[in-house]
Structure 1
Amino acid sequence: MLTRDQARQLLEKVLKFSSAPECSVSLDESEQAFVRFANNGVTTSGFTVERTVTISSTRDNRTGVTQTTDLTDEALRAAIKRAEELAAIAPPNPERVDPLGPQKYAEYDNWDERTASARSPAMVPHVKSIIEAASAKQLVAAGFFNRAASMDAFANNKGNFGYQRRSDSRLTTTVRTSDGSSSGWAGQPSVHISDINGSDLGARAIDKCLRWRKPLKLDPGKYTVVLEPTAVGDIVQLMGFSFFARQAEEGRSFLSRKGGGTLAGDKMFPEFINLRSDPFDKRLPTALWSQGGIPNRRIEWIEKGVVRNLAFDRYWAAKSGKEPTPVPSPLVLEGGEASLTDLIKATERGLLVTRFWYIRPVNPQTLQLTGLTRDGLFLIEKGEVTRPVMNFRFNESPVRLLQNTLRLGRSERVRGAEGQGMLTPSVQASDFNFSSLSDAV
């Protein structure tokens, strides 16, 4: 992994090759180690290293971009030349903004050396514990354990430079009956690989698989739900890019006011709903800057139910006379003190949802989504989980989910099947819309 000084030297060398009035160069380096398992056995393991240089050259409002993984001087000169050739034939960009000069980025490094250096010998014991536990119950386990260490650096010919490194890890497992008729899932991401507990994840997935056999068929409709944190993250994380002011002002967002304007400043959610982006939460990987090199910072998007801020990219900020803001990511939905068990006990009748799957937009303006429940859906009656339930397709919006939220559990880091994940609690909410049955497992 290149150090700050090594990255700066490389980027400054590339900039010297450029003849363009504006040139920016980014360097991305990643190392990944992984173990994949299926049918109660390890199928693959590996280790990859990648370095990519991306060059952006601009002249007369026209920009060309190239990438190369060859870091020799000859290849870098050729990439610069290609970017400048592409800029010459590119159409002018009417929304181009001048590159940022020197910025002050936070001195923050959420790096875990044990995570960054882990190889398959550190992962296999966790995988083995899952496989052995599943085999003992005549079940079939599959999953993926990976860790990543990465470095991002960039520089431009206006004097700006940034450098950050990050480490992360994640173990997920799906356990099924041998005939494939029942399934359970569990997963855990962490900056610190030492937090990962394969035995615990295996036990949770096995328990869900065994309890979900012979599910009950219920009618579609609106139900009170208790969503586990992964299920909440699966859909709430998709709210982030709807906080952009431009979308709201142009009538393309759930934050657009009928007749014009935005809903910024309006109370749209219960008092206890607080949603923010916080790049310096130690449970999340490092993120020192946002799009265009804007320094990252904590921003409250929803505070005590009120929409406090909208996001402005540099172009729209200049057009609107506002300060630019970072992208709303990574998101943190603030939780409470209740446990998942507490939320279940507080539910007279409802459904417990493990996670969602194959989530797709239906109406981007309202954030209406559709998708499927998966790997564990259960009926709650009088505060107790009583029966497995056949999977549903849902048609619902994370906006309505938060508006209908009754109680919050404790926040934890999650990363579902899609997206980069967030910090979120379990949620008890009313009137969650399940539109049809699904016979998928």
Structure 2
Amino acid sequence: MDRNVREAFALARERYAELGVDVDRAIDRLGRLSVSLHCWQGDDVVGFEGSSGEIGGGLAVTGRYPGRARDGDELRADLDRALSLIPGSHRLNLHASYAEAPGRPVDRDALGPEHFSRWIDWAKRRGVGLDFNPTFFAHPLAADGLTLSHPDPAIRRFWVDHGIICRRIGAAFGEATGTPCVTNLWIPDGSKDLPVDRKGPRERLLSSLDAIFAEPIDSARNKDAVEGKLFGIGAEAYTVGSHEFYLAYAVSRGKLLCLDAGHYHPTEVLSDKLSAVLAFLDEALLHVSRGVRWDSDHVVTLTDELDAIAQELVRGDYLGRVHLGLDFFDASINRVAAWVIGARNLLKALLRALLEPIDRLRALEAEGDLTGRLALLEEAKLLPSGAVWDYYCQERGVPGGIEWLDAIRSYERDVLAKRVEAGA
């Protein structure tokens, strides 16, 4: 380990100890946390179904940075590079559209675990868990932006069957990797302009969801989550699966609620919702993203809100009840670097929260000393968490500071550039 890093860490440990913070315990707790990296950042949400690149469902990826992954082998190689630069042991979040079915195409209502065998082999070889998502977009039967709430029973049946199959695939992932798969359901259904009937689509969605979740599956293999949204492109006026709808569904049906940082009104924040929903739910799923003016899925940066999310997770003792995942897609920058930046920032925020002098802050608050609480909160912002982060990274064989970018530059030169030469 670098001598300067070791010496800076020793000084930081002393500084934190003065405030009653056990740095070694914080590092140990951070090392036991996993972040689920989302596969769709690596190829602009295209998937492996031979899509022309039209995603639909209110989703849009901007940019044309060279070197996009074009198949499973390239995507797995990119993930390997990213994971090697993120300290700790993490997970992968797959969409159903990333099935690998050589030869005759397999439609989404006929998928099975065998179409993800190469992903399972990769996960077992790396020792990482797998999470999963049905793909309710980029398909002819989702062309009008409606799936599980569609007025046509045959179309609804297709998507219900897709949801049922995806839960079974998630269970197969959990069985193969030895860690539960979180299978998260999100649909794009909504209306561009004001609908007359808001009730009917939600009643159809409720019925469809109940049909999807009717089959009992051991939660040791698969955990079900549902994800709401405020609006999207093509659903500006009405979203069938709103936050309120899925909150009620998760509470009444015993499902995980997925909270996505970009799926609320710009004046709402995810950090304020954690203690509210977890008062009624055993577990939740977080999709950590960064919306800019709307749900635009920017790469996660170390913002005040990211700090606030991490603080709520630690202060509320929710780390054992919340599954952490990333959700963004940016093709304007190096896609592998986007994973690394986003994951490292989430981990940095969690480390900063774990290093907070929470016992002293709680004591000040309990005593009614709000002046002291505010003063300590502000002073804590300049505590040397960066020195602890660099030590944590190097201790786990990962570059600290900005040194990781050198590895990305080499990978771009040696791997991604060759894809461009081959016509990627």
State the TM bucket, normalised to the shorter chain: under 0.3
Q: Which has the higher contact order (CA 8 A, sep 6+)?
A: 2
State the TM-score, normalizing by the size of structure 2: 0.20
- Using structure 1 for the length normalisation, give the TM-score: 0.19
